[in-house]
Structures are given as C-alpha cells and as structure tokens.
Amino acid sequence: MGMDEEAQRSPRSLPVRTADAISRRIASGEWAPGARLPAEPALAESLGVSRATVRSALRRLAEAGAVRIRHGTGTFVSEHGGAIRASLQSLRSTSQLIRDQGHEFEIRYRHRTLRAATEAEAGRLRRSSLPVVLDYERAFLGRRSALAFESGVIAADGLPVGTDAEALTGSIFEFLEPLGMLPDQSLTHVRATHDPDLAWGERRPATPLYLTLEQTQFLPSGTAVSWSATHFVQDQFDFTLIRAA
C-alpha cells in the first residue's frame, strides 16, 4: 500500500508526506494503540520510499507523541488517549501537529485582511516602522469540537506584490514555504487563558479554558516573519517538555 495520490501531489517534503501516510494508517485502525509497527524495510517497501525516509518520518511522529521508538525493540503506536500530544521543543505548524496524530480536522478562517500594523504588532515583528501585515483569525475544528483558535499577523514585506489575503486558506507554514518565508525558530511565551469571549462558531468549547502559545517566528536570517497567539482547548492537547541536567 503506497502513499495515496493526495500525499504524492503534496508540496511538503517526502519525510513529512511519509509521516502523514503512516498517521493515516494508524488512524484507520490498521495498527492499534500499543501495537508494534512493521520494521523499517517493510514500511519502506509498502510506502515506496527509502529506509532513510521512513526513519526520518518515524522520528517526526515520535516527536509529536504519535509513536514511541524503543531502540532494539521497534516502534510502537502510542497508547495515550484522545488528546493531541505535541512537543514544545519542535517548531511545527499547528496543522502538522494535528495531522501527525492522524486526527481529521478542518481549518476555518474568520477573516484575512491586509492592513497597516499597530504599534504593538510592529514591536512583536521587531520593526521600527509600521509595516503592512496580513492579519488573520482562524479555528481548528475536529469532528465534534474545536481544537484551537488562533489570531496573528504575517509581515507582508516578504510577500509577492499583489498577494491576495484570501490566498491563505490552510496551513500558514505551507503558505509561506514556497515563498522562501518558512520560519526555523520562534520565541514562545506560554500561559493559561480563561476567556468566554475567545471562541467563535458552532463548536466552541463548553469550558473556555485554554493553553495559549504566543509566538514570534523568525527566518534563518533572524528577521521576524510572523506573530501568532494560538489558544489550545483544554483536554484536546497534551504538550510535553523534555528537561535534562
């Protein structure tokens, strides 16, 4: 069973597409929680990719908490519950975090607008003047409930002239990558939020409690490219942080 046509047409890198394909097979029930995945050679053959690609894809899934790699034993499907597990160490789009877990979801935009930045936004983007920004607000919706709500701005000075804000329809990282604007680092502040007015739409949570990540994302050059505040609905995400002496 190779990767489906949608995965093959995706502009994302081959390891990311391979991770997506494995996630979908886990979500389909092909491998139950706690089950051992086939060995790398068998996965590589079934997916039509190299062992190196499979190894990279499995590392991505392990970082996201979807699988556990036990050296000398194999790779196993995680046995956690319904929460989406995510690592705070890895810079990854919210879309990819959810997709890595095999969850079905949709992204619904409330608005997308090109406008002048406020002074606060210019400060977050490390600009001395007020740049034009692409301002957006969106929600990540699971089958039965909302997973997260997000608002943010993207510095428009790196976007092609004449960019239509409505062209932003899905993952922001996937929107930025073909433009050479994919961030590789972020400065992140984490806090708890209780706000009954934050959610919108028909799948808003009954309890308005969130884990909020405020992030300024940077290009490899050190230029700030975007700022966002993502509010993850309680019990929908399980974030981990690895600490070492």
Residue 7 has pLDDT above 50, yes or no: no
Residue 196 has pLDDT above 90, yes or no: yes
Strands (E), 33-119: 67-70, 74-77, 84-87, 106-116
The per-residue pLDDT for 6 is 47
Higher pLDDT, 116 or 16: 116
Is residue 15 a contact partner of residue 57, using CB atoms and an 8 Å limit? Answer: yes
Residue 8 has pLDDT above 50, yes or no: no
Residue 112 has pLDDT above 60, yes or no: yes
Residue 243 binned pLDDT confidence (cut-offs 50, 70, 90): low
Q: In Å, how far are 4, 15, 112, 127, 138 from 1, measured between CA atoms?
A: 8, 17, 39, 49, 35
What is the rounded CA–CA span in Å between residue 142 and residue 122? 33
The per-residue pLDDT for 83 is 57
Is residue 69 a contact partner of residue 58, using CB atoms and an 8 Å limit? Answer: yes
Residue 229 has pLDDT above 70, yes or no: yes
What is the rounded CA–CA span in Å between residue 31 and residue 37? 7
The per-residue pLDDT for 85 is 61
Is residue 40 a contact partner of residue 54, using CB atoms and an 8 Å limit? Answer: yes
The per-residue pLDDT for 237 is 78
What are the tens digits of pLDDT across the range 67-86?
A: 889 888 899 988 754 555 66
Higher pLDDT, 192 or 94: 192
What are the tens digits of pLDDT across the range 113-172?
A: 999 999 999 999 999 999 999 999 999 999 889 999 999 999 999 899 989 999 999 999
| Share above pLDDT 70 across residues of the chain, in percent, rounded to a whole number | 87
The pLDDT mean for the chain works out to: 87
The per-residue pLDDT for 16 is 87
The per-residue pLDDT for 245 is 54
